[in-house]
Amino acid sequence: MRTGPDDHTEPGAPVVDHARHPGPGEPAPSEPAARTGLGPHKAASGCPPEQRTDDLGTKSPRPGSGRTAQPSTVATDIPTDIARKWQEMTDLLAEILRVPAALIMRIEPPDIVVCVSSESKGNPFAPNERARLGSGLYCESVLKSRTPLLIPNALKDEQWKSNPDIELGLISYLGFPISWPTGDIFGTICVLDDRANHYSKAYQALMEQCRDVIEMDLKSIFALDARLTEEARAKERLEQQVAERTADLRHANAQLRQKIAEHERTEAALRKVAEECRCAEEALRTSQELLRAIIDSSTAIVAVKDIEGRYLLVNRRFEELFGVAREAIVGKRDDDVFSREHAEALRAFDRRALLAGTALKDEEVMPEDDGVHTYLTIKFPLRDAAGVPYAVGGISTDITERKKIEAERALVLEHEQRARTAAEAAVRMRDDFLSIASHELYTPIAGLKLAVQGLMREATTLPAGATKLARMAERQCQRLVRLIEDLLDVARIQAGKLDLRLGDVDLRALSREVVEHFDVELKQAGSTVSWRADAPVVGMWDRARLEQVVTNLVLNAIKYGRGKPIEISVAAEGEVARLVVADRGIGIDASCAPYIFERFERGVSAQHYGGLGLGLYISRQIVDGHGGSIRVESELGAGAAFIVELPLRRRRDALPTEVSAPTGGPDEPAG
Ligand code: ADP
């Protein structure tokens, strides 16, 4: 080690001479460790990766431990211009102090790094060389004690004689601690000599000045760093604010978009509602026009008045009839249009309808040009959506004509009623007369019949001409008896006294006997009878009455048969005995067929065919009385077939003993 310029060394210098042992309270230098030396740098000068708390009291936040109020003192880069200045400073120091090495060391835990190394001859330290803390370097002592250290000759110093720098030949050392403005240790500024060197006070002062310059630089770096940190923080705050603002804006934007969408939806809904309203209005207008057309085309008078009696609406008929335009009448009252009396009547009806709360019907009379007209008016309250009546409507139909017709009809009905009563009286009189007459006639005719029969018994004693006349008289007498008996039967039927005397009767035998009886009439008419009656048909019937039925049918077949053949069939089918008398005569008009079984009903003119129109009536009463039926099948001009059906076995409880009086019928006056 070069001998330092001892002459420059001034006593009293504040440096600690480590040629001596450290005093009490002074930090003990660490044991000289094996020289590890300062190796080649691994990180950029002045840019250690992180700062840790170490035994030198260097404190700085670890990465990720959060930022302190002050900027990091280790992580701070040394600006180039300051680095250059420091370089020049160390170069000058080396030159002035004539030492091989002037260094600015910096702590970058866990290392100590050569921050600046003088470009001087014999300097073994290269910038950025680093050594582990705890290697026993001179600087470590300075850093620990935070006081200057002067080692004039390490070789003579027990404490330092194993110092690793000795291996490099550097045996003297002068170092000063450098602090950040915060008080944290930055590093050291030191000079090393390869000779024993006491470094004069001037040198020490120079070094101190250099240290102060560096600390000033650190202050400005620190301030700059603080400003930059603050700026960074402000920038970060700003960015945060921008981010928050952006988020707010994004949120507001989303809300706005949502509101716009809502607005658009509302607008669409409103448009739809407006369209629906328009459609509804259109429909309302159409229905109003339709209603107007309907009420205008009505022949009835239509008017609507508010509850105060002011006209709201009238139809065309109203306008025509009362000579007022609808525009002119709106808002007017009845007494503006009609006479006081008529207006009062109209208004009273309105009030009644409003009071009743329902439609009321009444007749109204109105004097018109062609006389007084009668109207059937319906008045009804019109209600609003809440059900409160706001108007009264009226529809008046002119029923003058109808009233006239009704009056005429009533008159006709009265006449009819009178005529009916008269006809009923006449029928009653006729029936009474027939009843009396037939009774009165029957006794002399019965006497006459007996007399003629007596005469016929004496026929052999009579001249031939008299016999013939007597036979003729007998036949006419029988005919007369039948007519009177028919009349008597009608009277009996009317009185409900047509008795049936039931007994076993063979319908086939009975029919044959009847036909035989009319042998003469058949001959006179030129008709023949053919039979279809294979077996006896026996039932419980009234013989005399059935004879009467068969007689009527056969005589009609002879009378209306036009001399054509007559067919008679008698047969039993199941529970029914059927007798058919068919001819091929004039037949019956279909329009007459329903009536020929009624009393005095005839389908032929009296001029051409004699008869009372009672035969079929009595026959039907008798057949009905037996529980049977009679009907006709006929075609006009082609003949007629009368079919009688009688029950073969009758239920006892249904067995009638007399024929009940018929009620009404075509013979009765029309009702
Ligand atoms: P009447 O023969 O005395 O007129 P009826 O009661 O026997 O009375 O008959 C009623 C009517 O029925 C007759 O007037 C006639 O028009 C019609 N009629 C009855 N029998 C026949 C028949 N066989 N052919 C055509 N018409 C008949």
506 and 641 assigned to the same domain: yes
Whole-structure pTM value: 0.44
Ligand 1, pocket-test mutation among 479, 553, 602, most atoms within 8 A of CB: 602
Nearest CA owner, ligand 1 atom 3: 611
Of residues 489 and 392, more confidently modeled: 392
Nearest CA owner, ligand 1 atom 4: 613
Express each pLDDT in 553-567 by its tens digit: 999 999 999 999 999
With cut-offs at 50, 70 and 90, classify the pLDDT of residue 92. Answer: very high
Express each pLDDT in 270-308 by its tens digit: 999 889 989 988 988 888 888 888 888 888 999 999 999
The pairing of beta strand 101-108 with beta strand 111-117:
antiparallel
CB of residue 613 inside a 6 A radius of ligand 1: yes
The pairing of beta strand 16-17 with beta strand 149-151:
parallel
Query: What pLDDT is recorded for position 73?
Result: 52
- Interhelix angle for 543-560 vs 615-625, to 10°? 150
Contact 202, 148 (CB under 8 A): no
503 and 643 assigned to the same domain: yes
Query: What pLDDT is recorded for position 225?
Result: 76
The residue assigned the tokens 């001009």 is 637
526 and 388 assigned to the same domain: no
Ligand 1, pocket-test mutation among 560, 566, 614, 631, most atoms within 8 A of CB: 560
Ligand 1, pocket-test mutation among 479, 555, 556, most atoms within 8 A of CB: 556
Report how far ligand 1's centroid is from the alpha carbon of 234 (Å).
Answer: 136
Express each pLDDT in 404-422 by its tens digit: 899 999 999 999 999 999 9
504 and 376 assigned to the same domain: no
Q: What is the DSSP letter of 70?
A: S
Ligand 1, pocket-test mutation among 482, 616, 642, most atoms within 8 A of CB: 616
Last residue of a domain, one of 160, 195, 210: 210
> For residue 655, is it within any domain?
no
298 and 171 assigned to the same domain: no
**Max CA pair span of the chain:** 227
Contact 347, 394 (CB under 8 A): no
CB of residue 580 inside a 6 A radius of ligand 1: no
The domain of 151 spans 80-210
Ligand 1, pocket-test mutation among 549, 588, 642, most atoms within 8 A of CB: 588
CB of residue 56 inside a 6 A radius of ligand 1: no
**CA–CA dist 400, 300 (Å, integer):** 12
Query: What pLDDT is recorded for position 577?
Result: 97
Report how far ligand 1's centroid is from the alpha carbon of 597 (Å).
Answer: 9
The residue assigned the tokens 């959506």 is 385
> For residue 152, is it within any domain?
yes
CATH of the domain at 578: 3.30.565.10
Count of beta carbons in the 10 Å neighbourhood of residue 214: 26
Q: Return the H-helix or E-strand segment holding 108.
A: strand 101-108
Ligand 1, pocket-test mutation among 596, 634, 635, 643, most atoms within 8 A of CB: 596
CATH of the domain at 95: 3.30.450.40
Last residue of a domain, one of 399, 433, 456: 399
Three-state SS at 109: coil
**CA–CA dist 90, 190 (Å, integer):** 9
Report how far ligand 1's centroid is from the alpha carbon of 662 (Å).
Answer: 20
CB of residue 604 inside a 6 A radius of ligand 1: yes
CB of residue 557 inside a 6 A radius of ligand 1: yes
Nearest CA owner, ligand 1 atom 7: 615
Measure the N-to-C terminal CA separation of the chain; round to a whole number of Å: 169
Query: What pLDDT is recorded for position 69?
Result: 36
The distance from CA 275 to its chain's CA centroid, rounded to whole angstroms, is 20
Please state the rounded mean pLDDT for residues 626-644: 96
CB of residue 142 inside a 6 A radius of ligand 1: no
User: In ligand 1, which atom is closest to the CA atom of 560?
Assistant: 24
User: In ligand 1, which atom is closest to the CA atom of 617?
Assistant: 6
Nearest CA owner, ligand 1 atom 23: 557
CB of residue 586 inside a 6 A radius of ligand 1: yes
**CA–CA dist 97, 95 (Å, integer):** 6
> For residue 53, is it within any domain?
no
Please state the rounded mean pLDDT for residues 81-108: 94
Please state the rounded mean pLDDT for residues 459-482: 84
Please state the rounded mean pLDDT for residues 462-479: 84
643 and 504 assigned to the same domain: yes
- Lowest-confidence pick of 55-64, 98-107, 594-603: 55-64
Nearest CA owner, ligand 1 atom 8: 613
- Lowest-confidence pick of 265-269, 276-280, 410-414, 440-444: 440-444
With cut-offs at 50, 70 and 90, classify the pLDDT of residue 236. Answer: confident
Nearest CA owner, ligand 1 atom 21: 556
Report how far ligand 1's centroid is from the alpha carbon of 474 (Å).
Answer: 24
Last residue of a domain, one of 190, 210, 230: 210
Express each pLDDT in 6-34 by its tens digit: 333 333 334 555 443 333 333 333 333 33
> For residue 667, is it within any domain?
no
Report how far ligand 1's centroid is from the alpha carbon of 538 (Å).
Answer: 28
CB of residue 548 inside a 6 A radius of ligand 1: no
Q: From residue 296, how far is each of 33, 288, 301, 314 by CA, in Å?
A: 128, 12, 9, 9
Return the exposure string of 16-45: e unless at least 16 CB atoms fall within 10 Å of the residue's CB, then b.
bbbbeebeeeeeebbebbebebbeebeeeb
Reading the block at residue 621, the tokens are 């009463």
> For residue 435, is it within any domain?
no
pLDDT beyond 50 at 248: yes
With cut-offs at 50, 70 and 90, classify the pLDDT of residue 89. Answer: very high
Report how far ligand 1's centroid is from the alpha carbon of 594 (Å).
Answer: 12
Nearest CA owner, ligand 1 atom 17: 603
- Lowest-confidence pick of 337-341, 585-589, 643-647, 648-652: 648-652
- Lowest-confidence pick of 37-51, 96-110, 194-208: 37-51
**CA–CA dist 564, 639 (Å, integer):** 9
- Lowest-confidence pick of 33-42, 450-459, 643-652: 33-42
Q: From residue 574, how far is each of 623, 644, 647, 648 by CA, in Å?
A: 18, 15, 9, 8
User: In ligand 1, which atom is closest to the CA atom of 610?
Assistant: 3
User: In ligand 1, which atom is closest to the CA atom of 552?
Assistant: 7
> For residue 9, is it within any domain?
no
**CA–CA dist 550, 553 (Å, integer):** 5
CB of residue 583 inside a 6 A radius of ligand 1: yes
205 and 298 assigned to the same domain: no
With cut-offs at 50, 70 and 90, classify the pLDDT of residue 620. Answer: very high
Q: From residue 135, how far is each of 67, 71, 162, 165, 172 by CA, in Å?
A: 31, 29, 11, 10, 17
CATH of the domain at 322: 3.30.450.20
Report how far ligand 1's centroid is from the alpha carbon of 596 (Å).
Answer: 7
Please state the rounded mean pLDDT for residues 148-164: 89
Q: Return the H-helix or E-strand segment holding 646.
A: strand 639-647
317 and 204 assigned to the same domain: no
Report how far ligand 1's centroid is from the alpha carbon of 598 (Å).
Answer: 11
CB of residue 556 inside a 6 A radius of ligand 1: yes
Count of beta carbons in the 10 Å neighbourhood of residue 59: 16
Report how far ligand 1's centroid is from the alpha carbon of 641 (Å).
Answer: 12
User: In ligand 1, which atom is closest to the CA atom of 602?
Assistant: 14
> For residue 2, is it within any domain?
no
Of residues 649 and 599, more confidently modeled: 599
Helices (H), 298-373: 316-322, 326-329, 334-337, 340-356
> For residue 43, is it within any domain?
no
- Number of structural domains in the chain: 3
Q: Is the dihedral of CA 447, 448, 453, 459 positive or negative?
A: positive
- Lowest-confidence pick of 147-161, 505-519, 623-637: 147-161
Beta strands across the sheet bearing 172-179? 16-17, 149-151, 172-179, 185-193, 101-108, 111-117, 130-132
Torsion angle of C-alpha atoms 81, 82, 83, 84, degrees rounded to 10: 50
Of residues 648 and 4, more confidently modeled: 648
Report how far ligand 1's centroid is from the alpha carbon of 613 (Å).
Answer: 7
**CA–CA dist 95, 101 (Å, integer):** 9
- Interhelix angle for 80-97 vs 201-297, to 10°? 180
